[in-house]
Amino acid sequence: MIYVSKVELVDRLGVEPNIVGTLHVTTSHVIFRSDRGSKELWGFESIKEHHSVDDAAKAIIFFSHANRDTVGVKIQIANGLIGSVERGPLTAAGCPLVIRCKHFQVVNLLIGRDKLCQDLYETLLRCSKIVNVCELVAFENRDGAEDARGWSRLDWAVEFTRQGVNHEWAENDLNESYQSCDTYPERLWLPVSANKTTLMGSCRFRSRGRLPVLTYFHKVNGAVICRCAQPLTGFSARCVEDEKLMELIGQANKNCDTLFLVDTRPIVHVFRCAQPLTGFSARCVEDEKLMELIGQANKNCDTLFLVDTRPIMNAMVNKVQGKGFEDERNYSNTRFHFFDIENIHVMRTSQQKLLEACMKSRTMSDYLRLLESSGWLKHLRSIVECSTFLADSILRGISCVVHCSDGWDRTSQTVSLAQLLLDPFFRTIHGFQILIEKDWLGFGHKFDDRCAHIGALNDDAAKEVSPVFSQFLDCVHQIMRQRPRAFQFNDRYLIIIHEHVYSCQFGTFIGNCEKDRKDLHLRKRTKSLWTYLDSRQDDYFNPFYEPTTFSVLSGIDTRAAAFNVWHALYNRFDKGLLPREIAIDTVMTAMEHVGVLESHIAALRIRIAELKSQFARGSNFCGNSMADSGHSSGTGQSEERLVSDQRQPSPESGIYDPTAYSEEVLTRLPVLWQSLRDASHCSSKTCMAEFASTLDRRIHCHRCGKVFCRRCVRVTIDERERICKECRKIIQICPP
Please report the pLDDT score of residue 65 as a whole number.
Answer: 36
Q: Is residue 652 predicted with pLDDT exceeding 70?
A: no
User: Is residue 404 among the annotated active site residues?
Assistant: yes
**Global confidence as pTM:** 0.84
Q: Is 459 annotated for ligand binding? A: no
670-684 b/e with 16+ CB inside 10 Å = b?
Answer: beebbebeebeebbb
φ, ψ (nearest 5 deg) of residue 185: -70, 160
**Identity at 253, one-letter amino acid code:** N
Q: Is 404 annotated for ligand binding? A: yes
Check residue 541 and report its DSSP letter: B
* CA 309 to mean position of chain CA atoms: 24
Q: Which of 21, 76, 20, 81 is nearest to 43 (CA)?
A: 76
Burial class from Cβ neighbours inside 10 Å (0-12, 13-18, 19+) for residue 382 reads buried
**Residues of the chain above pLDDT 70, percent:** 79
Domain ranges within the chain, ordered by starting residue: 2-129, 159-446
CA-to-CA distance for 433 and 500, rounded, in angstroms? 13
Q: Is residue 217 predicted with pLDDT exceeding 90?
A: yes
CA-to-CA distance for 488 and 485, rounded, in angstroms? 8
Q: Is 410 annotated for ligand binding? A: yes
CA-to-CA distance for 49 and 51, rounded, in angstroms? 7
**Please, are residues 221 and 295 in contact by the beta-carbon 8 Å criterion?**
no
CA-to-CA distance for 706 and 680, rounded, in angstroms? 12
Q: Is 703 annotated for ligand binding? A: no
Q: For residue 286, what are the contacts with CB-CB under 8 A and spacing of at least 6? A: 197, 198, 199, 200, 201, 202, 204, 205, 239, 240, 241, 242, 244, 245
Considering the candidates 404, 451, 513, 704, report the single residue annotated as catalytic: 404
Q: Is 409 annotated for ligand binding? A: yes
Question: How long is the chain?
Answer: 736
Q: Is residue 384 predicted with pLDDT exceeding 80?
A: yes
Q: Is 538 annotated for ligand binding? A: no
| Residue 401: CA count within 13 A, CB half-sphere | 44
Q: Is residue 154 predicted with pLDDT exceeding 80?
A: yes
Span 442-461, pLDDT tens digits: 999 999 999 999 876 667 77
Instruction: Average the pLDDT over each of 166-170, 424-428, 569-573, 629-633 and give the range with the smallest value.
Output: 629-633
Instruction: Average the pLDDT over each of 275-284, 344-353, 726-735 and give the range with the smallest value.
Output: 275-284
CATH, domain range 2-129: 2.30.29.30
CA-to-CA distance for 319 and 231, rounded, in angstroms? 9
Q: Residue 125, SS3?
A: helix
Instruction: Average the pLDDT over each of 359-363, 426-430, 521-525 and give the range with the smallest value.
Output: 359-363
Check residue 654 and report its DSSP letter: S
Please report the pLDDT score of residue 656 as a whole number.
Answer: 39
CA-to-CA distance for 228 and 208, rounded, in angstroms? 10
Highest mean pLDDT among 240-244, 257-261, 505-509: 505-509
Span 682-697, pLDDT tens digits: 888 888 877 877 678 8
CA-to-CA distance for 134 and 322, rounded, in angstroms? 36
Mean pLDDT calculated for residue range 577-584: 74
Q: Is 623 annotated for ligand binding? A: no
- Whether the CA torsion 97, 102, 106, 109 is positive or negative: it is negative
Please report the pLDDT score of residue 587 as a whole number.
Answer: 85
**Please, are residues 41 and 47 in contact by the beta-carbon 8 Å criterion?**
yes
Q: Is 405 annotated for ligand binding? A: yes
Mean pLDDT calculated for residue range 269-276: 32
- The 3-class secondary structure across 478-525, one letter per residue, is HHHHHCHHHCCECHHHHHHHHHHHHHCCCCCCCCCCHHHHHHCCHHHH
Q: For residue 608, what are the contacts with CB-CB under 8 A and spacing of at least 6? A: none
